[in-house]
Amino acid sequence: MDPVTPLRFARLLLTGAAGHLGRELRPRLARYCDVLRLSDHHAFGAAGPGEEVMLAELADKSHLLALLEGVDAVVHLGGVSTEQPWEPILAANIVGMVNLYEAARRHRVRRIVFASSNHVTGFYRQDQVITPRDPVRPDGFYGLSKAFGENLAQLYWDRHGLETVSLRIGSSYAEPKDRRMLSTWMSFDDTERLVLAALTAPIVGHSVIYGMSDNGRVFWDNRCAAHVGYRPQDSSERFRATVEARQPRIDTTDPTAICQGGAFVTQGRYD
């Protein structure tokens, strides 16, 4: 591998290509590579110009070894993305992450951009502003699995020199849906800016950064991850009046209104 971090990649892998963010990033990432390899665990259509499609189950080690062959960098959006029972989370987000990193190590992939989640710290209160260096407080099995993914990324950096930027993505939608999202919202354009910065920053080791736009009220302080070079250009403030009119009152005894993780702090079954 060329030791110089490129601004354009020969082959870039996007996992979770059929998901919410994968569909949005697919045409955007194609601008930064010669070949965009797309993967998900179920069929999602044919490859377009400059694309490759490879179906893969994250829990299948042989699938991941084939998927990572010839790849320069990975944008890993694949896996379970909501609070669910433990078994599917274990298969995709725990076993699947180990398989991904082992395949990346064996194929000498230099960098992974990992879609972690704000739910790694979902049990912090909304009246607290935290940084990526604060202790994790997962709000469920999903957040716990993402905390594992970040620890795995740290291990592979320390032991094998495989770089990762873990993106604790907030709420990436066309617009914020509620008052909590006025703080956690990240526009699709800012999501592209964040992923591109994570792919092309010269030196990242293992860096953790929250994914949000330049919102007026925030839960997260990214200054310790400024070396990644992410500069959001959008803000949720233009939606504030509409969102507050839609949700004029908040029950301040409701844990989903108190905690940064919102509804995730009460979701899931543990019996």
Is residue 156 part of the annotated active site? The answer reads no
Catalytic site residue from 32, 124, 142, 210? 142
Q: Sign of torsion, CA 119 121 127 128? A: negative
Cα 105 from Cα 247, distance rounded (Å) = 48
Give the catalytic positions in this structure: 142
